[in-house]
């Protein structure tokens, strides 16, 4: 890294916070509806006019907004990103990033204690934003995932820690003979049910409350474990591996989809290293894993014959087969 690159990285928080704060205040979703004058926008959103005008100047200079005849507008290229109704919307993902940012700003405290920061009072709103953010991100990754795994010959899938269930909804759309269960914690399932409502394949999907640390998953041919294991340390992951193995029939599959390290020496990629910092700030013992570590732990629970796929710069997929007859 050169000194110039270092300075650019260090200053990177400024544009990020300007965009996330504007998103959190509703600037983009409002302007997606129709362009508005800065004063009118401030009045609509209950914001200070001078503050909004200053932020708007920055947003226009950054290219996140544009001015048309004195009105602020969302550029055409970003409309779908900021429109909550679009299938490529990042509205919830950005709202979640705003909450994540609050934790990252207190990384100094985490560094002293090694403990995650206490959760704030906005828990319900934050949980909902988190789960819908997972949907925003899963919509992008779902096709790549199912391009790499053919579930045409399998009957029932359990999505362990399935969150909004977007990956599974995409699987149901791809594989017409598949049925599925989203298995998740009690607070999350009402959000998942609401998210799946209205999707035609939803009639092949059910929901089961459960804690993968404490109880076996429902019987299935395939268990999908996506973006769950980074929330836990070695003991938690070993418990989850045993509870997953107890549900998958012999010859069935576990699909582990995670932001993984390249190797156990943590050589890269940088995106995984930064995600590990995120888990440090948000969980007592969460971390990112190398494929070999997960194969060892899930191997101890009865899975083997591993295959692996790189899905994108930081996401990998491990496919293991349940031993036994």
Ligand X SMILES: C[S@@+](CC[C@H](N)C(=O)[O-])C[C@H]1O[C@@H](n2cnc3c(N)ncnc32)[C@H](O)[C@@H]1O
In the bound state with ligand X, the residue whose beta carbon lies nearer, of 74 and 191, is 191
Element (H, E) at 318: strand 315-322
Identify residues 119-148 at the interface with ligand X (CB under 6 A): 131, 134, 138
- Would you call 12 exposed, middle or buried from its count of C-beta atoms within 10 A (0-12, 13-18, 19+)? exposed
Task: Indicate the SS3 state at residue 309.
Answer: strand
d(CA 131, CA 9): 29
Does 256 contact ligand X by CB under 6 A? no
Cα-Cα-Cα-Cα torsion 50, 51, 52, 57, nearest 10 degrees, comes to 90
Among 55, 188, 255, 279, binds ligand X (CB under 6 A): 188
Q: Which 8-state DSSP code applies to residue 51?
A: H
Tell me which residue has tokens 């990103």: 81
Does 163 contact ligand X by CB under 6 A? yes
Helices 49-62 and 38-45: crossing angle in degrees, nearest 10, is 120
In the bound state with ligand X, the residue whose beta carbon lies nearer, of 18 and 135, is 135
Among 97, 226, 281, 287, binds ligand X (CB under 6 A): 226
| Window of 21-29, 34-42, 57-65, 208-216 that interacts with ligand X by CB under 6 A | 208-216
Going by C-beta distance under 8 Å and a sequence separation of 6 or more, which residues neighbour residue 132? 92, 95, 96, 164, 191, 195
Among 57, 211, 262, 285, binds ligand X (CB under 6 A): 211
Does 227 contact ligand X by CB under 6 A? yes
In the bound state with ligand X, the residue whose beta carbon lies nearer, of 20 and 191, is 191
- Using DSSP, how many helices (H) and how many strands (E) does the chain show? 14, 9
Other CB atoms within 10 Å distance of the CB of residue 208: 14
Query: In the bound complex, what is the minimum distance in angstroms from residue 188's beta carbon to ligand X?
Result: 4
Q: What are phi and psi of 66, to 5 degrees?
A: -135, 165
Does 149 contact ligand X by CB under 6 A? no
In the bound state with ligand X, the residue whose beta carbon lies nearer, of 15 and 308, is 308
Task: Indicate the SS3 state at residue 75.
Answer: coil
Does 247 contact ligand X by CB under 6 A? no
Does 317 contact ligand X by CB under 6 A? no
Does 184 contact ligand X by CB under 6 A? yes
Does 38 contact ligand X by CB under 6 A? no
Among 80, 109, 213, 273, binds ligand X (CB under 6 A): 213
Among 18, 20, 149, 167, binds ligand X (CB under 6 A): 167
| Window of 76-84, 98-106, 207-215, 275-283 that interacts with ligand X by CB under 6 A | 207-215
Catalog residues that contact ligand X under the rule CB under 6 A: 131, 134, 138, 161-163, 166-167, 184-185, 188, 211-213, 226-228, 231
């Amino acid at each position: 890294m050169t000194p110039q690159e270092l300075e650019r990285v260090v200053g990177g928080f400024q544009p990020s916070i300007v965009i996330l704060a504007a998103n959190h205040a509703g600037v983009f979703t409002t302007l997606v509806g129709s362009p508005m004058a800065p004063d009118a926008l401030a009045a609509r959103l209950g914001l200070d006019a001078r503050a909004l005008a200053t932020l708007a100047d920055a947003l226009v200079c950054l290219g996140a907004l544009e001015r048309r005849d004195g009105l602020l507008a969302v550029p055409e290229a970003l409309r779908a990103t900021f429109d909550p109704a679009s299938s490529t919307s990042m509205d919830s993902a950005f709202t979640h990033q705003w909450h994540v940012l609050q934790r990252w700003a207190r990384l100094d405290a985490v560094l002293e204690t090694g403990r995650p920061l206490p959760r704030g009072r906005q828990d319900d709103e934050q949980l909902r934003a988190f789960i819908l953010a997972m949907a925003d991100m899963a919509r992008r990754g779902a096709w790549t995932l199912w391009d790499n795994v053919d579930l045409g010959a399998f009957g029932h899938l359990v999505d362990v820690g399935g969150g909004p269930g977007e990956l599974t909804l995409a699987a149901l759309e791809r594989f017409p003979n598949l049925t599925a269960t989203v298995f998740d914690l009690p607070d999350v399932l009402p959000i998942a049910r609401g998210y799946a409502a209205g999707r035609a394949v939803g009639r092949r999907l059910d929901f089961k409350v459960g804690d993968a640390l404490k109880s076996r998953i429902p019987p299935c041919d395939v268990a999908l474990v996506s973006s769950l294991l980074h929330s836990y340390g070695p003991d938690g992951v070993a418990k989850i591996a045993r509870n997953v193995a107890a549900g998958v029939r012999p010859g069935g599959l576990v699909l582990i989809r995670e932001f993984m390290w390249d190797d156990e020496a943590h050589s890269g990629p940088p995106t995984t290293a930064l995600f590990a910092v995120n888990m440090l700030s948000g969980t007592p013992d969460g971390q990112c894993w190398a494929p070999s570590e997960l194969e060892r732990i899930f191997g101890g629970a009865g899975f083997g014959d591993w295959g692996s796929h790189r899905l994108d710069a930081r996401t990998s997929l491990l496919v293991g087969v349940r031993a036994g007859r």
